Amino acid sequence: MTLSDLSIKRPVLATVMILILVALGVSSAFTLKVNDFPNFDIPYVTVTITEPGVSAQQIENDVTKRVEDAVSQVSGVKHITSYSNDSISTVLIEFTMETSQAEATQNVRDKISASRGDLPDDIDEPIITKLDINSQPIVSLAVGGSLSARELTNLVDDQIKPQLQKVNGVGEIDTYGYSAREIQINLNKDKLVAYGLTTTQVLSSLANENMDVPGGNLKSGKQQITVRTAGKLNKVEQFLNLPVAKVNGVQLYVKDVAEVVDGTEEQDSLGFYQGQPAIAIDLIKQSGSNTVSVADDAKKAVDELKQQLPPGVTIDLVRDNSVMIKDSVSDVQNSIVLGSLLAVIVIFMFLKDWRSTLISAVSLPTSIISTFFIFNMMGYTLNNVTLMALSLSVGLLVDDAIVVIENIIRHLHLGKKPLAAAQQATSEITLAVMTTTLTLVAVFLPIALTTGLMSKLFKPFALTVVFAVLVSLLVSFTLVPMLSSRTLRLEERLPKILLVFLNWFNGLFEKLGEVYYRLLAKLLKRRLVTMIVVVALLFGSFSLIPKLGVEFIPQRDEGELNIVGTLDSGLNLAAAGNINSKILEIINKNPEVVKTFSTVTTSKVSYYVKLVDKSERKRTAQQIAAVLRKDLQSLPGVQSYVCLNSAMGSALKTVSFNLMGDDREQLQAYAVQAQRIMSSIPGAVDVSSSYRPGQPEVKLQIKRDAANDLGVSTAQAGSVINTMLTGTVVGHYEDGDDRYDVRVRLAEGNRKNLDDLRNIYLLSQNASASGGTNLISLNQVCDKVFSSSPSTLEKYDKSKKIELSCNLDGVTQGDFNSAFSKKVAQELNLPAGYKLFAGGTSEMMTESFGSLGQALILGVLFMFFVIAAQFESFIDPLAVLLSLPLAIIGAIIGLLVGGSHLSMMSMMGIIMLIGLVAKNAILLIDFAKAEIRRGTERSEALIIATRIRFRPIMMTALVMVTCMLPTAFAFGQGAELRAPMAQAIIGGMITSTLLTMIIVPIVYSLLDDMKRVFSRKPSAKHEEKLHTVL
C-alpha cells in the first residue's frame, strides 16, 4: 500500500502526521535566533607579539620570522601572512576550510610555547586569538559631553561599561578615544645634570619603593599573625617624597629632580562623534547569540544609563546593525507572503475552483513552518541565506501539489469518482513526482557536501531547499490526495463575471497548447534543423555573458559608508586631527548624511558615515560614495578610499592583488609600475599600495670603541633613551578598586626636538673609586644617522609582499581582474622569483566559483543517476540533461534585463533553475514512455504526453514566475542579494518552459533512434524511414 492510499483510507492518521510537523515547526519558530548571515567558522588564527622600542626590521628578523617558522609546521596551514611594525609583530595563519578552528588555535599555541626560547627575552606574552566572524559589533555608542577626557574615561570605565557588560549575549566591549589616568613622574633634565644623576639611578630607586612586601607568619600563643611590610602609597603627593639618591651626603627626593602629575596617558587615538570629541563603545556579541535580541537588550540598558549620567553627558546610538537585519528579514517575509498569494491566485485561475486551489496551497504554510523545526535541529538561524532559500522555494512547494491535484482533476473529467480519481491519479504519477523532487535534492546536495567558503555560506541555503521540498512532497502524497478524495467536485460555483474571465484565461492557454501540438508534430519531422537552431540560440546567449559581468557577492545599499584615510608619514596626533576636521567638512556637504563617527591615529583616519534610509533619498550609497571619493582626492596629506558596508567586511576593498618577491627594494619598484597599470584600467578607483614611504627616523649609531672606553653599553644607552622619550612604568598606584600606571619620563618640554637628544646623559661604569659618578653625554658615544624606514613590512608565505588594491565604479570584479591581469602580462616583465596574483575577495571569488562549478557538475551527475534509476535506462536521462541548457538562455536574459551580474547569488538561482527544468522534462518523458508501453506510436505518444502535461507545466511555470516577482523587483533592505537569484529563475523558467515541450520530445526521439540502431540492425525499410525523418 502506497503512502497516498494509506492517507486516503486513514485521513486522521495523515492529518496527525502533518500536524505533528507543523506543531514542531511553530514551537521552533519562537526559539530561532535572528542574524544577518549563517554562523560558521573560518579557520584563521592570529599571533600578536609586542617588543617595545624595536624597529619594524628588527621585529621581522627576531620575532616574525621565528613565529612563521614555528607555525608553518602545524598541520592544515594554507597561507601565512605577516605584518611587522615598530614594536609589534602580527602573524595571520589561514588554515584549510576542513580544519577545526579550535584545534588549529591549540596547535598554534603549542608551537609558539615550544618556540618561546627562540624569541627575544624582552617580548610581552604572545597573544594567540582565533578569528570569529560571528562575533561582530552589533551596537556602537558615542559618549561625550562637558566633562574632561579623563572624567569621561572614568565614567565609561566605572559606570557605563559595567552596566553594558551585564547585557545577556554581549561578549566583549571595545573602546576608542580613551584618556586613561596615569601618575607621571616628569624628570627635569637640567636638575638631573646638576646633581649628576641619570634615569638609571632614578628608576632603580623608585622600583624599590611603593610596594607591600609579605613577611610571613608569626605565632603568638594560640594566634597566628600575618606580617607584611606596608610601603604602598595612598596619595599621589606622597610620590614627591620618595628618596632617589644621596649626593655628597645630601638625600635627594623625587621633588628635587622631577614634577609629579596626576595626569592621563599620552593618547594614541582620538574619537569624534558629529565632529565633537567622544569615546566610542562597540558592543560585540557572543558567537552564536541572537543579534536582534542582544541589540534590543543593549538599547534598553542605554536608555537606563541615560537617566543615571551626570548633567551635560550624552550617550548616543551611532550604529545599530539589528535594524538592518530586522528590515531585511521583514522584506523577505513580505516577499514570501506576497509570492504565496500570487501563487494561489495563479493556481485558482487555472483550476477555477477554490477547493482545489486551497488543497494545492496547503503545502505552502505546512512546508515553510515545518522547515523551522529542521532549522532548530540543525542549529540554523533565521538569516538572509535561509530566508532567501524559503522565499525562492515558494513556487517549488506547490509544484508537487499542483502536479498531483491537476492529475486528479483530469481523472475526474474522465468520469471517475473522487475517491478512485484520487487513488489512481496519485499512483499514476507517484514515481515521476518522487523522481522530480529527488532530482532537485540531487542538485543541491553536493553544495552541502563540498568544502570551502562557498559550502560554509550556502550549505544552509541548500539544505533549507532540500528540507522544504521534501516536506512538500510528503504533503503532496498525504494531505493533497486525502483532501481531494473528500472535497473535490467538478461543479463550478463561481460568479458569472469571474467565470467568464477564467474561461477566457484558460482558453488562451488551450489555444497556445494547440499551436504547440501542431508545431511539435511538424518539428518532429525536422529534428536536426530544429536542434541546429536551438544550439545556435544557446551559443548566441553565451555571447551575452561578457555583457553580464562577473562579481563575487552583490553590494548591498545598507545606508552606511566607511571612509579610510591613510595619512602622510611623520604626522603627530594634532595634525591628524586637523585633517579629520577637513574630511568632516567634505562629508557634511552631502544632505543625506545623518551621523558620523571617526577615529584618528597618527597614521590613519577612519570614518563611519550613516545615511538616511534609501527610501528617503534619491541617490544610492554608491553614487554618494563616488561624490565623496572625488571631493576627497583634492585633500592634501591624506590618501582616502570609500567603501560601502558589505557582507565581506566593512572596510574591505573590492579588488586585491599580491606582489611577491625576494628583494624588497626591487619589489617596491615593481609595485609602483603595477599600481600605475591598475590605475589605468577603466573603473578602478581608490587605487593604493600597502607600501608606504617610511616615516622619519633617527638612528643613534653606537661608537663602540668610544663607548667601551667610557664604560657605556648599548643596552644601557637604549634603556635610557627609551625612558627619556617613551617612559618606563615603575609600578602602580591604587585608588580604591582601580589601578593606574606610574610612568617615569623626561618632562614634555625637554623632549620636543632633536636638539634635546644632546643633553641626555649616561652613567659611566668607570666611576671613581671614591664613589663619585661620571656622566657621559649621549653625543660622546653615539652618532645620529637620519633615514626613513617602512612603517610596515609584509610577508606572504614567508616571501616579501606588497598588496595592491582598489575599489570599482562601473565595472565588475571579473571584468576588471581579467583586464588587469592581461595588461600586467603585457607591460610588467617580472623576473623569476617574483609573481603577482589575486588575493582578498578576488581570490575568494575564484575559489568559490570553482567549488560551485564542481558542485554543479556533481549535482548533474547525481541527477542523472536518479533519472536513470526511474527510467531504467542510461540513455533516456540524456533527454532530460540535454534540455538543461535551455534554462541558461533565459537566465542570462533575465539577469541582463534586471541589471544584475553573474555572482554567487545568481549562480544559486541557476542551480535551482536546473532542478526545475529537469522536473518538467521528467514528467513529460514519463508520460510519453507510458503511452509507448500502451502501444502508441512514438511520435504520437510524444504529442499526447505534451498535450497532457502542457497545462500543469504551464501552471507550475507561471506560478514559479509570479511568486518570484516580489523578490526580483524588491527594493527593501538586502534586496540586492536576493534579486539576482529571482531574476535568473524568472528568465530561465520562461525560456525553458517555452522550449522544453519542443526540444525534450525531439531529443528523446533522437536518442530512441540511437538505442534502436545500437540494439539491433535496422531493416532497410526502417533505415529509409529514419532517413526520411531526419
Complete DSSP assignment for 51-69: -TT--HHHHIIIIIHHHHH
Architecture of the CATH domain 44-130: 2-Layer Sandwich (3.30)
Judged against a pLDDT cut of 90, whether residue 65 lies above it is answered with yes
State the pLDDT confidence band at 773, using cuts at 50, 70 and 90.
low
Scanning the structure block, which residue is given the C-alpha cell 627609551?
722
Judged against a pLDDT cut of 80, whether residue 381 lies above it is answered with yes
pLDDT digits (tens, 9 = 90+) for 318-367: 988 888 888 888 888 888 888 888 888 888 888 888 888 888 888 888 98
Angle at 341 between CA 335 and CA 344, to 5 degrees: 135
Closest CA to 657 of 841, 843, 837, 847: 837
Q: CB under 8 Å to 659, separation ≥6 — which residues?
A: 667, 670, 671, 674, 801, 802, 803, 804, 834, 835, 836
Please give the model's pTM, rounded to 2 decimal places: 0.81
Instruction: Report how far apart, in Å, the C-alpha atoms of 3 and of each of 184, 322, 361, 827 are.
Output: 83, 45, 20, 68
State the pLDDT confidence band at 659, using cuts at 50, 70 and 90.
very high
Q: What pLDDT is attached to residue 27?
A: 92
Angle at 436 between CA 431 and CA 439, to 5 degrees: 120
Q: Where in the chain is the domain with CATH 3.30.70.1430?
A: 44-130
Judged against a pLDDT cut of 90, whether residue 644 lies above it is answered with no
Q: Where in the chain is the domain with CATH 1.20.1640.10?
A: 1-31+352-488, 515-543+873-1030
Q: What backbone torsions phi and psi does residue 796 show, to the nearest 5 degrees?
A: -135, 120
* Mean pLDDT of the 502-514 span: 87
Q: What backbone torsions phi and psi does residue 252 show, to the nearest 5 degrees?
A: -105, 145
Instruction: Report how far apart, in Å, the C-alpha atoms of 870 and of each of 433, 610, 927 are.
Output: 11, 57, 13
Closest CA to 422 of 433, 434, 412: 412
Q: What pLDDT is attached to residue 1024?
A: 55
* Mean pLDDT of the 510-517 span: 88
Q: Provide the percentage of residues in the chain whose pLDDT is more than 90.
A: 22
Q: CB under 8 Å to 304, separation ≥6 — which residues?
A: 163
Q: Provide the percentage of residues in the chain whose pLDDT is more than 70.
A: 95
Cβ atoms of 165 and 283 closer than 8 Å:
no
* Mean pLDDT of the 699-715 span: 81
Judged against a pLDDT cut of 60, whether residue 1 lies above it is answered with yes
Q: CB under 8 Å to 741, separation ≥6 — which residues?
A: 182, 183, 265, 729, 732, 733
State the pLDDT confidence band at 1026, using cuts at 50, 70 and 90.
very low
Q: What pLDDT is attached to residue 694?
A: 64
Query: What does CATH list as the number for 137-180+267-324?
Result: 3.30.70.1320
635: its cell numbers: 585633500
Q: What does pLDDT average to over the chain?
A: 85
Comparison of pLDDT for 971 and 476, the residue scoring more: 476
The H or E element spanning position 918 is: helix 904-933
For residue 904, the Cα-to-chain-centroid distance in whole angstroms is: 13
454: its cell numbers: 562557498
State the pLDDT confidence band at 650, using cuts at 50, 70 and 90.
low
Comparison of pLDDT for 493 and 834, the residue scoring more: 834
Answer CATH for 182-264+696-789 from 3.30.2090.10, 3.40.50.720, 3.30.1280.10, 3.60.150.10: 3.30.2090.10
Q: Where in the chain is the domain with CATH 3.30.70.1320?
A: 137-180+267-324, 560-695+792-839
Judged against a pLDDT cut of 50, whether residue 954 lies above it is answered with yes
State the pLDDT confidence band at 1029, using cuts at 50, 70 and 90.
very low
Q: What pLDDT is attached to residue 646?
A: 61
Q: What pLDDT is attached to residue 712?
A: 82
* Mean pLDDT of the 28-33 span: 88
Judged against a pLDDT cut of 90, whether residue 175 lies above it is answered with no
State the pLDDT confidence band at 652, using cuts at 50, 70 and 90.
confident
* Mean pLDDT of the 606-633 span: 90
Q: What pLDDT is attached to residue 770?
A: 38
Distance CA 814, CA 681 (A): 13
On the CB side of 981, CA atoms within 13 Å amount to 28
1026: its cell numbers: 529514419
Angle at 756 between CA 750 and CA 760, to 5 degrees: 95
Q: CB under 8 Å to 156, separation ≥6 — which residues?
A: 143, 175, 178, 279, 281
pLDDT digits (tens, 9 = 90+) for 826-844: 998 889 889 998 887 778 8
pLDDT digits (tens, 9 = 90+) for 89-99: 999 999 988 88
Checking phi first, is residue 735 left (phi over 0); if not, alpha (psi -120 to 50) or beta? beta
How do strand 738-746 and strand 181-187 relate by DSSP bridges? Answer: parallel
* Mean pLDDT of the 765-789 span: 68
* Mean pLDDT of the 392-417 span: 85
Q: Spell out the CATH class of 515-543+873-1030.
A: mainly alpha
Q: What pLDDT is attached to residue 769?
A: 40
Q: CB under 8 Å to 994, separation ≥6 — which residues?
A: none
Comparison of pLDDT for 131 and 157, the residue scoring more: 157
Give DSSP secondary structure letters for 677-746.
HHHHSTTEEEEEES--PPEEEEEEEE-HHHHHHHT--HHHHHHHHHHHHT-EEEEEEEETTEEEEEEEEE
pLDDT digits (tens, 9 = 90+) for 70-111: 999 999 999 999 999 888 999 999 998 888 888 999 999 999
Q: What pLDDT is attached to residue 733?
A: 87
Task: List b or e across 259-290, with b for residues whose CB sees 16 or more CB atoms inside 10 angstroms.
Answer: ebbbebbeeebbbbbbeebbbbbbbbbeeebb
Distance CA 126, CA 109 (A): 9
Answer CATH for 1-31+352-488 from 1.10.260.40, 1.20.1640.10, 3.90.25.10, 1.20.120.530: 1.20.1640.10
**CATH fold of the domain at 560-695+792-839:** Alpha-Beta Plaits (3.30.70)
Least confident of 142-146, 475-479, 520-524, 733-737: 733-737
Q: What pLDDT is attached to residue 580?
A: 92
State the pLDDT confidence band at 492, using cuts at 50, 70 and 90.
low
Q: What backbone torsions phi and psi does residue 720 show, to the nearest 5 degrees?
A: -65, -45
Amino acid letter, residue 192:
L
* Mean pLDDT of the 544-562 span: 84
Q: Where in the chain is the domain with CATH 3.30.2090.10?
A: 182-264+696-789
DSSP code at position 552: S
State the pLDDT confidence band at 651, using cuts at 50, 70 and 90.
low
Q: What pLDDT is attached to residue 986?
A: 92
pLDDT digits (tens, 9 = 90+) for 576-614: 999 999 999 999 999 999 999 999 988 889 999 999 988
Judged against a pLDDT cut of 80, whether residue 277 lies above it is answered with yes
Q: What pLDDT is attached to residue 647?
A: 52
State the pLDDT confidence band at 768, using cuts at 50, 70 and 90.
very low
Q: What pLDDT is attached to residue 720?
A: 82
